[in-house]
Amino acid sequence: MMAIAKSPKVTTDRELINKFSVLQLKQQELSYSKIGCVAEHTQGSENLEIHYRCQSSQNIHGFVAQKFIRINGSPKKSSELVGIVNAVLFSVGDLDLIYGSPSVRRRYLDILLSQVDKEYLLSIQQYQKANTQRNHLLRLIRDGSSSANELTFWDQQLAKNAVILTRKRQEAVEILEGTSLPFHKLLSGSNEKMNIRYARTYDLSENIDLENFMNDLERSRGRDIAQGSTSIGPHRDDLVFEVDNMEASKYASRGQSRTAILALKMAESEFLYTRRSTKPVLLLDDVMSELDQTRREQLVEHLKKHDQVIITTAEPSNIPDSFTNSSNRLEVINGSVKTI
């Protein structure tokens, strides 16, 4: 949450609120919480806080949740918080990067690049706004309420940001693929080769520039008006994982997919470190459960190179002693945390 200003487990901040707090809220009219951290890096340290204030409401949930960001005590936007703390999260849900919908993979790239590239963060925000406005206008044109000539402005906005997003995504995927290969070989214990490919919308021009994308939008205009939505662009692109040149989503076993994603996450860590000169925090949930003892030890040796690693597990015996003996150990029982 401190890395990207929102939880990876929910779609709205409202879902973070404990049900008992909601009951309390109905009686006291106000509920409040805060999450914070001190981020230390080469330039110094920063105090980061996310505040949540809930108030009763007549909506179906009975309350609304307001979020406030503060950096060193000063109010800030969420976009200003993103990137100060870098974190890499691995959990069983990450198998959706292979088996889930393309939107899951696009979101992964957006979160990764937004942490290290403010231009990318601004471009994705502007692109999403332009796409929403263009889709609204397409529906008006389809219904005879507007003219197709009005699309020019939003086409330009869409194309300008689409070029930036596509180029940066493609560059990042090439780096991730190259960096993940040694990790994948280490964890798979075989000669299997993993490939990661950025797949653009099928009918786009091969060369990525403003003129070509504007021409692509022009060619797809009739279809877009009929559908009432934009059919090409970064919001339609995908990320394809392959193991031995076969698409992982169709042919890889669960173990192969888990290994591929773990190799990707280790490559992600190197990607962030290269751009920020600070090792990201590694957040690894149940990472050892499907690895044999040899690979657990190999992974632990790599993890020791990082400044801060948090591993969660329901089976402590899965964690090699070489890691456990040099770690702070905490146990969570019925929502309470104690030191072991």
- pLDDT score, position 288: 87
Mean pLDDT of the chain: 90
CA separation, residue 157 to residues 64, 209, 237, 244 (Å): 33, 13, 18, 39
- pLDDT score, position 26: 62
Mean of pLDDT values over 42-70: 84
Which pLDDT band holds residue 199 (cuts at 50, 70, 90)? very high
User: Which residues lie below 8 Å from residue 339, measured CB to CB, with a gap of 6+?
Assistant: 328, 329, 330, 331
Taken in order 74, 76, 78, 81, the sign of the CA dihedral is negative
Dist. CA 288–CA 299, nearest whole Å:
9
Q: Is the pLDDT of residue 82 over 80?
A: yes
CATH superfamily of 96-285: RecF/RecN/SMC, N-terminal domain (1.20.1050.90)
Mean of pLDDT values over 264-284: 92
Extract the tokens encoding 258.
């888990």
- pLDDT score, position 334: 86
Say which amino acid occupies 160: K
Smallest CA-to-CA distance from 123 within 136, 132, 110, 105 is with 110
- Name the residue ranges covered by the structural domains of the chain: 13-81, 96-285, 299-340
- pLDDT score, position 202: 78
Smallest CA-to-CA distance from 29 within 81, 76, 64, 80 is with 64
* Model pTM score: 0.85
Which pLDDT band holds residue 313 (cuts at 50, 70, 90)? very high
Q: Which of 6-15, 66-75, 302-311 has the lowest mean pLDDT?
A: 6-15
Instruction: Quote the percentage of the chain above a pLDDT of 90.
Output: 62
Helix (H, G, I), strand (E, B) or coil at 295: helix
Helix (H, G, I), strand (E, B) or coil at 173: helix
Extract the tokens encoding 329.
């150990």
Give 328's Cβ-side CA count (13 Å radius): 7
